């Protein structure tokens, strides 16, 4: 039996080492150099090429190499009967807390403007709000959104959070479901998207959403590019409906050279680096799920295919 990695853009040597540190008896293989497709029972995937997932007749389960599993749910070549799981780790959470906090602080304290002014030797102070005057709304209160919201609340911001089901989080005003969406958006000046990509959330960052935010709003998207309607963002920025966008994820990655988001002062772009899975941190849970799949046990961090996350 073998555990197969299909992750063409990742450092596969580190993955092999991390898996073998947990259990040196596991036969680890890397797509496309597979000895015997029949032996593959568990696959770990990231950016898997199309037409690959239906090549393994004895596949039992698949894990996303990251926190999001939308790439697997959308893969038409992965049979629906195959269970899907994902990874959850303290460092993914910590990195996302750092990323969103850095973006919020940069926006609040005009740091990007000051960095640009350095290049021009320009000495020009800008006014800034106090944390207690800034309202931040976190969409998605899961493994990542919840700690992010908590941390921002601890830093003194006015924090709201919105999820599908209701939550209680200390220091955070919570909203849930479609019925609360308007009230949540109306209370938000910096909107942070940490939703999974599903049929319900695709395109959620659109003009209608932007129009409901407070004045001078910013949008931080660290979830998936498909949450954002690109042309609505450009329109909202050009019409001063919102003030700026801080984006880590894009419908097409790398973001193409000709994309309208490049070279705009009010769009900050980072190349999908908010939170990155470290092999040594998650190898244990991958091995555990591999063994669970082989013995027919329920997977940890399993994706609910009905809900899409
Ligand atoms: P979780 O599955 O733990 O949490 C998802 C949250 O979204 C839950 O609170 C859920 O509500 C809420 N939600 C889902 N559907 C809806 C809806 N229709 N309306 C309102 N709320 C909804 O996900 P994670 O926190 O682990 O990750 C979130 C996403 O972040 C990932 O899917 C991935 O796309 C992205 N990500 C990006 C990274 C990057 O580097 N940029 C790195 C890691 C992840 P409920 O709690 O009620 O179920
Ligand atoms: C993830 C990601 O989902 O890196 O882990 O986007």
Regarding whether 83 and 96 lie in a shared domain, the answer is no
Å from CA of 176 to ligand 1 middle: 14
Nearest CA to ligand 1 atom 31: 68
Distance in angstroms (rounded) separating the CA atoms of residues 285 and 287: 5
Domain span at residue 108 reads 90-269
What residues does ligand 2 touch, defined as CB less than 6 Å away?
Answer: 66-68, 275, 277
Ligand 1: atom nearest CA of 165 is: 47
Q: Is-contact 89 277, C-beta < 8 A?
A: yes
Residues 56-101 pLDDT 10s: 999 999 999 999 999 999 999 999 999 999 999 999 999 999 999 9
Å from CA of 257 to ligand 1 middle: 29
Regarding whether 85 and 98 lie in a shared domain, the answer is no
Regarding whether 78 and 104 lie in a shared domain, the answer is no
Distance in angstroms (rounded) separating the CA atoms of residues 3 and 40: 6
Regarding whether 212 and 154 lie in a shared domain, the answer is yes
How many folded domains does the chain comprise? 2
- Find the CATH number of the domain harbouring 161: 3.40.50.720
What are the helix (H) ranges across 77-228? 90-108, 111-119, 145-154, 177-186, 207-212
Cβ–ligand 1 distance for 71 under 6 Å, the answer: no
Ligand nearest to the CA of 303: 1
Cβ–ligand 1 distance for 270 under 6 Å, the answer: no
Give SS3 for 19: helix
Query: What is the average pLDDT across 137-158?
Result: 98
Regarding whether 256 and 220 lie in a shared domain, the answer is yes
Residue 161: predicted pLDDT: 98
Ligand 1, pocket-test mutation among 88, 142, 249, most atoms within 8 A of CB: 142
**pLDDT band, very low/low/confident/very high, at 50 (cuts 50, 70, 90):** confident
From the CB of residue 123, how many other CB atoms can be counted at a distance below 10 Å?
A: 7
Cβ–ligand 1 distance for 147 under 6 Å, the answer: no
What mean pLDDT, rounded, does the chain reach? 97
Nearest CA to ligand 2 atom 5: 66
Cβ–ligand 1 distance for 227 under 6 Å, the answer: no
Regarding whether 75 and 42 lie in a shared domain, the answer is yes
Residues 154-193 pLDDT 10s: 999 999 999 999 999 999 999 999 999 999 999 999 999 9
Distance in angstroms (rounded) separating the CA atoms of residues 22 and 56: 25
Residues 216-275 pLDDT 10s: 999 999 999 999 999 999 999 999 999 999 999 999 999 999 999 999 999 999 999 999
Regarding whether 45 and 159 lie in a shared domain, the answer is no
Of 101, 83, 74, 63, the residue nearest 277 (C-alpha): 63
Å from CA of 248 to ligand 2 middle: 11
Query: Catalytic positions, please?
Result: 224, 272
Regarding whether 113 and 10 lie in a shared domain, the answer is no
Regarding whether 12 and 31 lie in a shared domain, the answer is yes
**pLDDT band, very low/low/confident/very high, at 54 (cuts 50, 70, 90):** very high
Regarding whether 162 and 221 lie in a shared domain, the answer is yes
Query: What is the average pLDDT across 25-32?
Result: 96
Give SS3 for 207: helix
Regarding whether 95 and 27 lie in a shared domain, the answer is no
Tokens of 211: 């129009």
């Amino acid at each position: 039996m073998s555990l197969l990695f299909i992750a063409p853009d990742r450092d596969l040597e580190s993955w092999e080492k991390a898996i073998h540190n947990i259990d040196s008896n596991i036969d680890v293989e890397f797509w496309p150099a597979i000895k015997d497709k029949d032996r593959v029972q568990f696959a770990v995937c990231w950016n898997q090429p199309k037409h690959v997932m239906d090549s393994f007749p004895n596949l039992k389960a698949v894990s996303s190499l990251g926190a999001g599993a939308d790439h697997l749910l959308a893969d038409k070549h992965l049979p629906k009967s195959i269970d899907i799981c994902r990874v959850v780790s303290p460092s993914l959470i910590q990195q996302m807390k750092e990323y969103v906090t850095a973006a919020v602080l940069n926006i609040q304290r005009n740091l990007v403007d000051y960095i640009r002014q350095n290049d021009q030797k320009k000495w020009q102070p800008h006014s800034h709000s106090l944390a207690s005057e800034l309202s931040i709304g976190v969409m998605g209160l899961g493994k990542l959104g919840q700690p992010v919201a908590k941390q921002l609340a601890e830093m003194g911001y006015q924090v709201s959070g919105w999820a599908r089901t209701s939550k209680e989080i200390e220091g955070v005003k919570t909203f849930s479901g479609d019925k609360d969406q308007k009230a949540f958006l109306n209370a938000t000046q910096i909107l942070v998207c940490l939703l999974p990509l599903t049929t319900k959330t695709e395109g959620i960052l659109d003009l209608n959403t932007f129009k409901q935010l407070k004045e001078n709003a910013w949008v931080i998207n660290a979830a998936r590019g498909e949450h954002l309607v690109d042309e609505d963002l450009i329109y909202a920025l050009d019409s001063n409906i919102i003030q700026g966008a801080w984006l880590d994820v894009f419908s097409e990655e790398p973001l193409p050279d000709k994309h309208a988001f490049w070279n705009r002062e009010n769009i900050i772009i980072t190349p999908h680096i908010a939170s990155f899975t470290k092999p040594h941190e998650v190898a244990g849970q991958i091995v555990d799920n591999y063994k669970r799949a082989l013995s027919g046990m329920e997977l940890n961090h399993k994706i609910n295919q009905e809900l899409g996350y």
